[in-house]
Structure 1
Amino acid sequence: MIDLHEIFNDIPHSVKKRFSKEEIPVLPSCFKPTILGEPRWGMIAQYRCACMNLHAYDFGDHWEIHRDKQNPLTHPIEHLVEDAPRVLGAIVGVGAIVAGAAVYQLFKSRKKE
């Protein structure tokens, strides 16, 4: 029988490991469904195990699991910086566009006065 805790403890931060459903048919009970995570092409669902900072994607015939450095539920900013910098970059980019548009509109309206 596979010792899942030993396998999961060996997953380093930010390294994706693939496990077949034959190898791990069901995730341990610590994994709960989540919407926090980047959607992946072909995934059916995603799960998080908060006690081990693990994030699992279900692809039907296999799992893809990685360990986050920070738990997004308890440390959301740190998680964005350390584990999801692309998401943080997108948030900052959209914020900059919105702020730029607001400043442009402000100056444009003041010119008319």
Structure 2
Amino acid sequence: MPRDEIEVPKELREFMLEEAEETFLGQKNGAEKQYRYGNLHIREYDDKFLVHNDKIDPRKDPIGHLVYDAPEVLIGLACAIFGGSEIAKKMMNKNSKKSTVTSGLFSSIISGYVGYLATKKIKNYLE
């Protein structure tokens, strides 16, 4: 849980802003549902709500949101593209087209995930 996230137990008080909209934007982190109200991101679990404030509302500026609130996603994508293309280039000369595509795809997934996790750990450490 990020340091700036607030936990509100449901048993304390069931709450939900009337104007909050259910959304698929954002990492659910195991939540049943998630909502947005401006820059407020609310995740609903069985027993609690987790609430935090994003710097940028992804519904209004998705790229800005990725840059400022979720850079790990952008870095993960960049690592996936770079890692996959580099492995595919190296494999192109050695193997068949099928194994090149397979190894490129596999290395993209691994590279992207490693980039994502590393950036997420750094981001959490700096918060």
TM-score, normalised by the number of residues in structure 1: 0.68
In structure 1, stretches of 5+ residues that fail to align are 1-13
Deviation at 1:48, TM superposition (A): 0.9
What one-letter code is carried by the residue in structure 2 that aligns with 1:38? Q
Picking from 19, 39, 59, the partner of 2:8 is: 19
Match of 1:84 in 2: 70
In structure 2, stretches of 5+ residues that fail to align are 95-127
SS of the equivalent of 1:55 reads: strand
SS of the equivalent of 1:99 reads: helix
SS of the equivalent of 1:22 reads: coil
Distance 1:49 1:24, change over 3 A: farther
SS of the equivalent of 1:73 reads: coil
Matching of residue 45 in structure 1 with residue 33 in structure 2: yes
> What is the CA–CA distance in structure 1 between the aligned matches of 2:81 and 2:13, rounded to whole Å?
41
SS of the equivalent of 1:97 reads: helix
Picking from 60, 63, 75, the partner of 2:49 is: 63
Picking from 41, 59, 63, the partner of 1:73 is: 59
What one-letter code is carried by the residue in structure 2 that aligns with 1:80? L
Q: Which runs of 4+ in 1 moved over 6 A?
A: none
Matching of residue 29 in structure 1 with residue 15 in structure 2: no
Residues 44-81 of structure 1: per-residue CA shift (max 9 Å, x gap): 1111112xx00011111110000000111111111111
Q: Aligned pairs, how many?
A: 92
Max Rg structure: 1
Deviation at 1:18, TM superposition (A): 0.5
**Percent sequence identity over aligned pairs:** 29
Structure number having the greater helix percentage: 2
> What is the CA–CA distance in structure 2 between the aligned matches of 1:20 and 1:93, rounded to whole Å?
38
